[in-house]
Amino acid sequence: MALPNPLRLVATIPALLSLTLTAQARPPLYLAVEFPSATPGGGGAPQRTAGGAPRRGSEEECVAKFADLNGDGQPQRLTPLTALMPTNNIGTSLSPDPTLSFYIPRTRGTAVEIIIQKRVPTTTATGTPRYRYDEVYFNDALPIPPSVANGPRIVSYALDDVNLEPGAVYEWSLAILCEGSTGGEDVVSGLLSCSQADGSPLGCSTTATIPDPKTLAPAALEANASRFATDAYWNETLAFTAQLRPVDRQQWKTLLESQGLGCLADVPFAEEAIAPNSPQAQPLWDPQCFVE
The per-residue pLDDT for 51 is: 64
| Within-domain flag for 5 | no
Tens of pLDDT, residues 173-193: 999 998 876 555 689 999 999
pLDDT of residue 16: 26
Residue 251 inside a domain? The answer is: yes
- The answer as to whether 206 is a domain residue is yes
Distance CA 197, CA 205 (A): 17
Domain residues for the domain of 106 are: 21-51+61-66+77-263
Kindly report the pTM of this predicted structure: 0.82
Distance, CA of 277 to CA of 143 (rounded, Å): 28
User: Is 174 contained in some domain?
Assistant: yes
Inside any domain, residue 291: no
pLDDT at 206: 85
Q: Which residues of the chain have pLDDT under 50?
A: 1-42, 52-59
List all residues 6 or more positions away from 28 whose beta carbon is below 8 Å from its beta carbon.
none
Residue 271, domain member (yes or no): no
With respect to residue 46, please indicate whether it lies within any of the assigned structural domains. yes
CB 270 within 8 A of CB 145: yes
Whether 110 and 103 have beta carbons less than 8 Å apart is answered as no
Note the pLDDT tens digit of each residue in 271-280.
898 999 999 9
Q: Count of domains in the chain?
A: 1
Residue-by-residue DSSP string for 116-134: EEEEEEEE-TT--EEEEEE
| Residue 289 maps to a domain | no
Are 57 and 64 spatial neighbours (Cβ–Cβ below 8 Å)? yes
pLDDT of res. 150: 87
Q: How far apart, in whole angstroms, are the C-alpha atoms of residue 1 and residue 139?
A: 7
